[in-house]
Amino acid sequence: MLNAFRKLGLSKSFLVLTVLMLLVSPLALTPQVARAAGGPDLVVTNITWSPASPTAGNEVTFSATIKNQGADPSPAGSIHGVLFTVDGTSVSWSDNYSSSIAAGASVTVTATGGPSSKASWTAQSGTHTVRAFVDDINRIAESNDGNNTLDQSITIGSASGTPDLVVTDVAWTPATPQTGNEVVFSAVVKNQGTAATPAGTVHGVLFTVDGTSVSWSDNYTSSIAAGASVTVTATGGPSSKASWTAASGSHTVRAFVDDINRITESNDANNTLDETITIGSGTGTADLVVTDISWSPASPQTGNEVTFSAVVKNQGTAATPAGTIHGVLFAINGTTVSWSDNYTSSIAAGASVTLTATGGPNSKASWTAVAGTQTVRAFVDDINRIPESNDSNNTLDESIAVSVPSKPDLVVTDISWSPSAPAAGDAVTFSAVVNNQGTAATPMGAASNVSFYVNGTKVSSVINYTTSIAAGASVTLTQNSGGSWTAANGIHTVNAIVDETALISELDETNNSYSESLTIGTIQSYGATVPYDSYEAEDLTIVGGSVTGPSTTWTTAESEASGRRAVRLAQGQSVELTLANAAQGIVVRYSMPDSATGSDIYQNLSIYAGTTHAADIQLTNRYSHQYGQYGSDGGEMQWSNTPGTNHHRYFDESRVLLGQQYAAGTKIKLQWDANDSNPSGNSYVLIDLMETEAVPAALTKPSDYVSITNYGAVANDGADDTAAMTAAIAAVNGTTIKGVWIPEGNFDFNTGTRGTTKIKLPSGVSMKGAGIWRSTLQGAYAGLLLQGGNVTLSDFTIKAEETYRSNASGIAGIEGNALNSTIMNLWIEHTKVGLWLNEGTANALVSKLRVRDTWADGININGGTLNTIVEQSSFRNNGDDGMAMWSKSLNGGAGTVEGSTFRYNTVQIPNLANGIGIYGGKNNTVSHNLVMDTIDNGSGIQFGTNHAPTAFTGTLTISDNKLVRSGSYHHDYGYQIGAIWGYWVNNNGLASGLTVNVTNNVIDSSTYSGVFIEEPSGSTAMNFTSNTINNSGTYGVYVRGSANGSAAFNSNTVNVAPSGKFKNDSASLTVSGSGNNW
């Protein structure tokens, strides 16, 4: 209790006086709650549990019968909470009953939640005291608060013996497979042991045919009681296929339960069962061809959504297999636009069916028509699901002519402001260049209005410009309504939207928006200028703790810490900082030990402002710790969550919003108090850094947005808000309403199907929140899919629930087509990838993001992204490249990223691969970024032909970046990687007409060499000019023997390189240049 009083900042003399008062007057302990005569009086009359006779390891759910023995009913609308404890420790609670309980009436409530978000208690052997405590936090005024508990004893039997899993049967579908059929295996698994298997552990079954792995089941995690059996069916396999393609003849099918020994058994030698499967040769073979392609509308015009259909004929001598998808891919000029994937009936020999597109990239089953004559291809059975006598005749090409209607099409091509270089406090006015890129003039008398927004808030507009704008003509329009905007220091996003209210009928109503950045005041030379202060734990006042590190060795926690060092704290120890600026928000980057099995554990630390306990902050292992080798776990996991070899990804972050803002100079202390929750008994935590921030007041809803709460969402209630979000989006789509408003609070998205469920935003439907500290979309399906771009996303947090890397089904923070979109001031964490912007993305502005603790890339722009800027954003602890440009399309087409820029971003501690990776592309720029502390298999900045880009041409500019402690040992390749890495693997002439200019970069304390070049660069012109390399780990510049081509080095400086300033181990790479200091 004394510690609790100390957290309130009370003095020793006050404590002594309080104790004396308590000794003198027991009434001092009585809560001073004003009560009406009579009133309700809640008691617990019974406690029950399920299962009724639990054994050790069972998950036990408690229920309590509550009776109102008072004179009045309890109030409706108030939560009638019940806390359940076992031996004095809170294990679960019920917090969803809010109806009135009449005088004399009883209700039974069941636990709905608990610590670690678990509503059950894991039973332990022995006899325990279960307490049910109704109204434990005094929400309801009662005539008697002293009778709210009931204690009962629960006896837990020992789980005698050990489970023993065997396979008792293997089955398959189809039951009589023919050659070429896709065969799905199932196994009956029996626990013939003397104890149940553990709940929460994967009960995996591997299926092999003639000794080769063909599929597996890896999603059954319930307990199997002793003597019980379950049937599991294959859910995955090599190449992400859960079936085996049948080959004629007799084969041995083996089902191998618990093949990787996740479950402790009494006998590990009896886990397999072999059976024989005979595959018929069938009579003849199917042969699918496309005989016709049609589309709707039949005579499309520019901007129409076109849906394709294909007539598929089976001209073979046997029917196609029922139950197998007869897919058709539709492509325009080589780029996939849609597909049909829901037809699974058999097609008899000689028969035909018509299949219509049902899906496509970005979940859109249609193609947005582009003017001109295009080639449409229909490709039946494009991924070879069906065995055919001829696989080379599956395509048909036809021409589709798209006409251009006679309409204007207004776009903004430039924004300017006056004064041209505003200072804080200046009155700023805006102008926009509006171009009519359509085929007809705007109507005389119709207003071509322009709205100007700064950071998402409308500040001024152009109204009543009614002069006709001829086709092809441009005009500069200056605001004449709304007054000026008062300049403030910082980086601002200025957005101009022409014809925002659709007064003019246009060819394309979705391309009216254009954004630019406006910087006022001083910004950092390298990296993002951010609104928070960062404090390295090792630089703080440390009480009792110890500094660990430095280390650059992969699989050590220190190698993943900022600056390669952290502070180790145990109970009673602390780190303390002094606020450089006022702050209310606190972020702590930490590592806590993993549990023995990898299961979730939690603990709290205390935050003090001065001597006053300001908040607790919760830590967890849930989003950290992975093991093994990439791709080793089987199924969809790229790394294992089960403790083992190659332990890495030690760190995660937590944030807390304090109850008030504290002034500069306030001491903020992070301390492990004796009474901080630590149910798993952790002995230490590592603190890497803390960040503090002055959190702005919550923003208010713009008038042209609709709130998700209008459609049933309730902030912070824990209920799923998917239906409300879907309804709100539908209410906006196709209207003049701008977007969906996310008010202050947490909103949950946990209903759906992994791999397919996302929050889908149609073209033109924007989303805005009350601020990144205020509004949060959270849950397993808290990710946005942009289906057509032309949106603004701003001022909220996306917090998903990814706990391992799954390339196949993990949720992205934001993915899809970001055409003409502005994405700004978002916080994204615990997603697969932060942002994955692909086909259709052009003219996008991504600014002021925080992308933390993802399992793959922080941001990856690919699929032919054009003219897109990513700036002033922070990426930290990403599970692959922090930032990547990948000139590759996963949906067909060229995919070349062109004219795009990464500038003024900070990338810290990428967990795997590079800070920034440039894989092919054309005329792209990487400038003024700050990259720090790469860990494994990567560099600070890599450029080259890795990951099979479709093209690499034009000029790549890498200039004015700063790389600190970059480069790493590549544990897959077995050699050292430099801070800047020219990697020309599998080039083979792919890089053509390419110049790479690496200029004015600063490389400090690289782990190995400052610059590293390998593999054949061919005819590429590589120019390294005026770079500074300080304190490299090995060489200043190192050229590996595998390199060839040429490189020019001019006016570069190397300061301190223990292995030598420059070394060229390649006889095939010609080096030229002058003015270097080697």
For 221-249, write each residue's pLDDT tens digit. 989 988 889 999 999 998 788 999 888 88
pLDDT of 841 above 70:
yes
For position 746, what pLDDT does the model report?
Answer: 98
Predicted TM-score (pTM) of the model is 0.70
| pLDDT value, residue 522 | 86
Residue 58 has what pLDDT?
Answer: 82
Number of Cβ within 10 Å of residue 736's Cβ equals: 10
- Specify the pLDDT at position 468: 96
Structure tokens at 890: 């996963």
Taking Cα atoms as reference points, which of 185, 165, 157 lies closest to residue 228? Answer: 165
pLDDT at 44 over 50: yes
| Positive/negative CA dihedral, 134, 137, 141, 146 | positive
Helix (H) or strand (E) holding 474: strand 474-478
* 235 burial type by CB count under 10 A (0-12 exposed, 13-18 middle, 19+ buried): middle
pLDDT at residue 456, as a whole number: 84
At 328, list the tokens: 């058709």
In terms of Cα–Cα distance, which of 482, 476, 479 is closest to 458?
482
* Per-residue 3-state assignment (H helix, E strand, C coil) for 987-1044: CCCCEEEEEEEEECCEEECCCCCCEEEECEEEEEEEEEECCEEECCCCEEEEECCCCE
Q: Over 60: is that where the pLDDT of 29 sits?
A: no
Pairing of strands 859-862, 921-922: unpaired
And the tokens for 747? 């909103």
> Residue 4's pLDDT band (boundaries 50, 70, 90)?
very low
Gap between the Cα atoms of 817 and 784, Å rounded:
11
pLDDT value of position 891: 75
Q: Does residue 905 register a pLDDT over 60?
A: yes
Please state the rounded mean pLDDT for residues 810-827. 96
The mean pLDDT of 705-724, rounded to a whole number, is 97
What is the DSSP code string of 75-134? PTTS---EEEEETTEEEEEE----S---TT-EEEEE--B-GGG--SEE--SEEEEEEEEE
* Tokens (6 digits) for 270: 């009896």
Confidence of residue 1 (pLDDT cuts 50, 70, 90): very low
Which pLDDT value is given to residue 753?
Answer: 92
Token pair, residue 447, equals: 């207003």
| Three-class DSSP labels, 530-554 | CCEEEEEHHHCEEECCEEECCCCCC
Is the per-residue pLDDT at 18 higher than 50? no
pLDDT tens digits, 414-458: 999 999 999 999 999 999 999 999 999 999 999 999 999 998 889
In percent, the amount of the chain with pLDDT more than 70 equals 95
For residue 519, pLDDT beyond 70: yes
Identify the pLDDT of residue 633: 59
Sequence-ordered list of residues with C-beta below 8 angstroms from that of 824, at least 6 positions apart, any chain: 455, 456, 493, 792, 793, 794, 845, 846, 847, 848, 849
pLDDT at residue 404, rounded to an integer: 87
Cα–Cα distance for residue pair 226/1015, rounded to 1 Å: 58
Residue 31, pLDDT score: 36
User: Can you tell me which residue has the tokens 């050590």?
Assistant: 556
Of 284 and 814, which is predicted with more confidence? 814
Per-residue pLDDT at 973 exceeds 60: yes
Amino acid at 213: S
Q: Give the contacts of 1001 (CB within 8 A, at least 6 positions apart).
A: 958, 959, 960, 961, 962, 963, 980, 1027, 1028
For residue range 394-422, list pLDDT tens digits in order: 999 999 999 988 999 999 999 999 999 99
Contact 547, 687 (CB under 8 A): no
**Is residue 191's pLDDT more than 70?**
yes
The rounded distance, in Å, linking the Cα atoms of 1003 and 1027 is: 8
The mean per-residue pLDDT over the stretch 615-623 comes to: 97
Structural domains in the chain, sorted by start: 1-30 (no CATH), 37-156 (2.60.40.10), 165-279 (2.60.40.10), 288-402 (2.60.40.10), 410-520 (2.60.40.10), 532-674 (2.60.120.260), 696-824 (no CATH), 833-1078 (2.160.20.10)
Average confidence score pLDDT of the chain: 92
- Least confident stretch, 12-26, 626-640, 837-851: 12-26
3-state secondary structure of 1074: coil
Residue 6 binned pLDDT confidence (cut-offs 50, 70, 90): very low
What gap in Å lies between CA 54 and CA 123, rounded to an integer?
Answer: 7
Closest alpha carbon to 66 in 41, 85, 89 = 41
The pLDDT > 90 percentage for the chain reads 82
CA angle 528, 658, 610 (to 5 degrees): 100
pLDDT score at 283: 64
Q: Say if residues 256 and 272 touch (Cβ distance below 8 Å).
A: yes
Q: What is the mean pLDDT of residues 134-139?
A: 93
Amino acid 510: pLDDT: 78
Judged by average pLDDT, the poorest of 55-59, 206-210, 534-538, 998-1002 is 55-59
Cα–Cα dist 523/670, whole Å: 30
